[in-house]
Structure 1
């Protein structure tokens, strides 16, 4: 097995112009970590020089290690390998905002829309992390969805400080170097990256927020944003317009100011949602529930499969954003014993799920435990197939859909499937955002078991 320093390399997570990030294991503890190695592309090394790249890389590690905040990734170790290349160790998380919204290398393509409360929570946590950065005199300068890691409990961790600007310590840029990512970097950063302040990071957060709420970048979005999302109104349009204003003076001037404005909007949104749900059924359309636009009842595949690493969304009956092309028509019945019966398919589901997120192996052991006790009178519990998980998926909740009382536990939304993608990866479902994805078996998702009662 390949090693870097004492760490065993399990796989490649990502590669950039300056470094490569690996999934690795601590040899004695067995703990899974992310290892970032200084391994610049030849062109980058030729332009910048290895000494300057090493200085930047180690400054990034020390910057992250010195910021003790729950929304900033922690660096645990900084070493050099046998070839003298620097590397540092961070916590490993399986998810990031870019993967959740479905952003790809085609940044301009539409992405998944998040529930307004979920998007606001991600943005608020991000702003809390930025408030800490800015208080330390640091401007990140490369805020984008893939630089926001997500913990198994929904926490946000800011990463990638390689382009950050420290107070009184200018980054030595070379003629062809650019700082930031297209669409997410503010206009002034393209003109003079050394002159930007905290409002540059806030612009990037505004771009991400609008993308999460509308599925489009502000530069390519409908105008105003409320035209793309029924949960938004004029106040939201004003907030988002200010967040991505062309000039720094027109934007929020601090992360704290932006948090306070966001909190006010969310208070109003919650009150409006509560008032809407208090109306008689004939005065709102929530009675339609999740049945509108559903397909015909069907009996989903129950036998596990392995798709291979090249299976695209079409192989699983999904659209380009990995959502069902047609949603199932269910007849869910709460049996009152913490299980739910889908009377249309004969599938009996756990109403909740495992108490904690589990690795794939732990999820299988959890199911075996249910069978050992004949939970709810069934001794044939198993992890569901992708086809069965698809029957639990619905479009992202918007408008009066919030009034519909959920049948299943909504606090445990990322669920393992029994279907495998490769020998070390399995398919999973996100029931909050309604899409299918895949994770390494060492990642942590919930297990919601299913039992076939007959068809």
Structure 2
């Protein structure tokens, strides 16, 4: 399949029982979008029937398209002139699921997020849900892979395929579950019609717990301090209430939960201010021994299946060992790392860009002989790993930024194939594959 309607197709983003989502390009202007095509499986058609399946699909597009909110994905086209209808949405290269490293084995451990990032994401999810709930819509499938992450770190709620409007009945087979295991509220699994806004808040509680601890909560287990003592007990009350087994035990609405979360975060910040005031801000322990081989300089093509071993990464794509990370001011907008034998341009590219755009940023630095040099290049993954640090705990939150204009995902010179390269998340400390068109930051490096 090379085109759907007027859109050229450039890859598959995901498949499910209702159809597939493709990476597509708008003709003439060339913008990359996500195109969701209804193409239900035989099992789905047998359970629902074509008429109901098409109505559900149309309802999803209409609900998303009719609402404008910072934390909801935008739908801007719909077409039913072909064999099956499709609608077109904004495209983003990351989801919260990919950020935390969740896989199809949902119960497996995932990456923890720093508290400010986890709380910020949860607050944005609640803001988007508040808009949906105000319109009478219950999402019923809040989970990390249905939460897209925009270039500016904004959460975008997507996939309203299982949502319902206030007063609407389920109308499906009695044995069909609505929602995703581990994230769906207990009452939603037993009786989808009974799920109201508080079922979505339960899913936010599960998501917040996972972001803070890297684990899913077990029944009656809501204390993050039991898994990560450094987090303290400031968030316990929020999690205990949001994860209540009965809807009546939970927050009444998203705004109330957001207020409680902000208060808990303020208490945590006050405690951390005290920790940092008494801290010497010593670096977290590193493992790379003195005299280790310098990071590889030249770019490489590394397949995804071999990447973890080649780059020296653990199961969650984090460094198995960390570099000293001692950056010194070299003047003229540069910093150097003598241990790694490299120098960095202190300022990253001002805006996220494609992989080709990152190469153009470096070419411009060389053309202008930035800092008196014309041998700047995109860093390899081994060079980017020298900037990564372990996930912060305790005094780890007190570390100042090593480089000015801190950015998150940074392009490397290493490719996964002829359409994707690797990027390193220098804040969260992991490596990921990204399509060339996905926006990320660009930093330039040179050998000393």
User: What is the TM-score when the length of structure 2 is the normalising length?
Assistant: 0.96
1:316: Cα distance to partner?
1.9
1:316 and 2:320 correspond: no
Residues 208 and 335 (structure 1 numbering): CA distance in 2 closer, same or farther, change over 3 Å? Answer: same
1:269: Cα distance to partner?
1.9
Ranges in structure 1 where 5+ consecutive residues have no aligned partner: none
Q: What is the alpha-carbon distance in structure 1 between the residues aligned to residue 306 and residue 312 of structure 2?
A: 11
Query: Which residue in 1 is equivalent to 2:39?
Result: 39
SS of residue matched to 1:34: strand
Does the 8 A contact of 2:235 with 2:265 survive in 1? Answer: no
SS of residue matched to 2:162: coil
Residues 343 and 145 (structure 1 numbering): CA distance in 2 closer, same or farther, change over 3 Å? Answer: same
Q: What is the alpha-carbon distance in structure 1 between the residues aligned to residue 380 and residue 231 of structure 2?
A: 36
1:135 and 2:130 correspond: no
Does the 8 A contact of 1:306 with 1:420 survive in 2? Answer: yes
Q: Which moved more, 1:238-247 or 1:179-188?
A: 238-247
1:425 and 2:420 correspond: yes
Q: What is the alpha-carbon distance in structure 2 between the residues aligned to residue 92 and residue 104 of structure 1?
A: 21
1:171: Cα distance to partner?
3.0
Query: Which residue in 2 is equivalent to 1:364?
Result: 359
Cα distance per residue 1:365-422 (max 9 Å; x no partner): 0000000111112210000111111111111222112222221136311100000001
Query: Which residue in 2 is equivalent to 1:392?
Result: 387
Cα distance per residue 1:267-326 (max 9 Å; x no partner): 2222222222222xxxx3x44313454543430101111112433422321100000111
Q: What is the alpha-carbon distance in structure 1 between the residues aligned to residue 398 and residue 304 of structure 2?
A: 39
1:240: Cα distance to partner?
1.1
Q: What is the alpha-carbon distance in structure 2 between the residues aligned to residue 222 and residue 250 of structure 1?
A: 15
Does the 8 A contact of 2:222 with 2:243 survive in 1? Answer: no
1:414 and 2:409 correspond: yes
Query: Which residue in 1 is equivalent to 2:6?
Result: 6
Does the 8 A contact of 1:6 with 1:26 survive in 2? Answer: yes
1:229: Cα distance to partner?
2.4
Query: Which residue in 1 is equivalent to 2:22?
Result: 22
Residues 427 and 61 (structure 1 numbering): CA distance in 2 closer, same or farther, change over 3 Å? Answer: same
Q: What is the alpha-carbon distance in structure 2 between the residues aligned to residue 222 and residue 111 of structure 1?
A: 17
Q: What is the alpha-carbon distance in structure 1 between the residues aligned to residue 19 and residue 188 of structure 2?
A: 23
1:227: Cα distance to partner?
2.3
Q: Which moved more, 1:397-406 or 1:70-79?
A: 397-406
Q: What is the alpha-carbon distance in structure 2 between the residues aligned to residue 265 and residue 338 of structure 1?
A: 39
Query: Which residue in 1 is equivalent to 2:235?
Result: 236
Does the 8 A contact of 1:36 with 1:87 survive in 2? Answer: yes
SS of residue matched to 2:231: coil
User: What is the TM-score when the length of structure 1 is the normalising length?
Assistant: 0.95
Query: Which residue in 1 is equivalent to 2:282?
Result: 288
Does the 8 A contact of 2:378 with 2:444 survive in 1? Answer: yes
Does the 8 A contact of 1:295 with 1:327 survive in 2? Answer: no
Does the 8 A contact of 1:103 with 1:111 survive in 2? Answer: yes
RMSD of aligned Cα (Å): 1.6
Q: What is the alpha-carbon distance in structure 2 between the residues aligned to residue 220 and residue 328 of structure 1?
A: 39
Ranges in structure 2 where 5+ consecutive residues have no aligned partner: none
Does the 8 A contact of 1:230 with 1:398 survive in 2? Answer: no
Query: Which residue in 2 is equivalent to 1:188?
Result: 187
SS of residue matched to 2:104: coil
Query: Which residue in 2 is equivalent to 1:49?
Result: 49
1:173: Cα distance to partner?
1.1
Query: Which residue in 2 is equivalent to 1:248?
Result: 247
